[in-house]
Amino acid sequence: MPEPSTYTFKLTDEQGKTLKEILEGNCFEFSELAYGHFGAKKGKCSIGYYQSGKLVVQGKDAKEFIEFTLEPLVLQEARLGYDEVHHPEMFEPHFGIDESGKGDLFGPLVIAGVYVDAEIAKRLLNLGVRDSKLIHSDKMANDLSKAIREAVPRGISLVAINPSRYNELYPRFRNLNVLLAWGHATVIENLLKLRPECPRALSDQFANPQVLERQLAKKGANIHLVQRTKAESDIAVAAASIIARSKFIRSLEDLGEPFGLKLGKGVSPLVKAQASRILEKKGIESLKSICKTHFKTFSEITHNK
C-alpha cells in the first residue's frame, strides 16, 4: 500500500482564520465547499476546511504542506509522525472492536476485532489505516482489509451474522444493542484465545457499557473493557472497522448476485425500490433471506403484501 495522501485535523476558529491568511499569502486558489468554510488548492495539495472545524489535506504535496506550514504556523505543534507521543495508549497492547451493517436493511451484521501492539500499530499507520473514515470506495476498503490481514498475522477475529441467522437471533435478544454486545463479546472471546496476554479491549460506545460487560461475563472473558465515542480514532478500532466493512461489502455482493442486483446500502430510496422489486418478483421468503426483518423499512415494504 502507498503512503497515505489524505490527512485530517481539527482546528479552532482562530486557527482556521490563520490558515486562510497563510493560504491567501501563498497564492492558493480558493473554491466553494459544501458544508465548509472554503476549499483551496495549489499544485498537488488540496485543502478542505469544514464548518465543523475539520480540516482535510490531500495530495502528493500534502505531507510537505503539513510539516512546513500547517504544523509550525497554524497548529504550532508537530503531529505528523508523532502519534506515539500524542497517543501512547494506541501503541499499547489492546483489541479494537467495530462493526458494519447494523444500519443496513440488506446484508449481514459484521463484527470484527484486531489486536495491536506497538509494532503492529506502526505497520497499520504506515498503511494509512488512521484515515479509515475517509475511505470512499469499496475497492479501497477491500485493498486495505487485505493489507491489514498481512500486517496482523495472529490477532484478527470476525463474526458475520447473515440475514437468516440474524432474523433468528433478534427475537431472542429483543434489542439490537444486546445482539451487538453479544457479537462484540464473541469477537473478544475469540481474540483472547489468540492473544490471551492482551489486557484491554476498546470499542465504540453503542449502549450502556453494562450491556457489553454482562455479555463478556456470560462468556467468562476476563479483560479490561473500554467503551468511548469516536473510538475509531484508535488504530486498532479503525483497522477492525475496515475488516468489518470489507466483509460486509463482499457479503452484500454475494446476496445480490442471485437477483441480478448490486444491493444498496443503508435504507435509501434505492434500497426500498430494490426490496419492493424482489418482493414482487421472488416473494417474501426470498426478501427475508437478504433483509433484517425487524427494520421499520421492511414492515413498510411488506405491509398488505
pLDDT at 187: 95
| Domain boundary, last residue among 253, 273, 291 | 253
- What is the rounded CA–CA span in Å between residue 67 and residue 45? 13
pTM tops 0.85, yes or no:
no
Residue 10 lies in a domain: yes
Q: What is the mean pLDDT of the chain?
A: 89
The stretch 155-181 carries a mean pLDDT of 94
Residue 283 lies in a domain: no
Q: Same domain, yes or no, for 66 and 190? A: no
Mean pLDDT to the nearest integer, 144-159: 94
Structural domain contains residue 304: no
- Residue 298 counted as domain residue: no
pLDDT for 134: 61
Residue 305 has pLDDT above 70, yes or no: no
Residues 203 and 128 in one domain: yes
The string of pLDDT tens digits covering residues 86-119 is: 567 888 999 999 999 999 999 999 999 999 999 9
71 in the same domain as 94: no
Number of domains within the chain: 2
Joined grid coordinates for residue 200? 484491554
Same domain, 112 and 72: no
Clarify whether residues 98 and 239 are in a common domain.
yes
pLDDT band with cut points at 50, 70 and 90 for residue 41:
very high
pLDDT surpassing 50 at residue 1: no
Domain harbouring 41, CATH code: 3.30.310.10
Domain edge (last residue) among 31, 63, 80:
80
Q: What is the structure's pLDDT at 76?
A: 84
- Report if residue 204 sits inside a domain: yes
Written as nine digits, the cell of 120 is 503492529
pLDDT range class, residue 155, cuts 50, 70, 90? very high
Q: What confidence score (pLDDT) does residue 89 get?
A: 84
pLDDT number for residue 256: 96
In a domain, residue 76? The reply is yes
Structural domain contains residue 288: no
110 and 35 in a single domain? The answer is no
What is the domain-level CATH number for residue 208? 3.30.420.10
Residues 194 and 225 in one domain: yes
Q: Which residue would you say has higher pLDDT here, 84 or 7?
A: 7
Segments forming the whole domain that contains residue 224: 88-253
> Regarding predicted confidence, which is higher, 80 or 110?
110
d(CA 282, CA 269): 20
Residue % of the chain over a pLDDT of 90: 66
Tell whether 278 is covered by a domain: no
Please tell me whether residues 68 and 211 are part of one structural domain: no
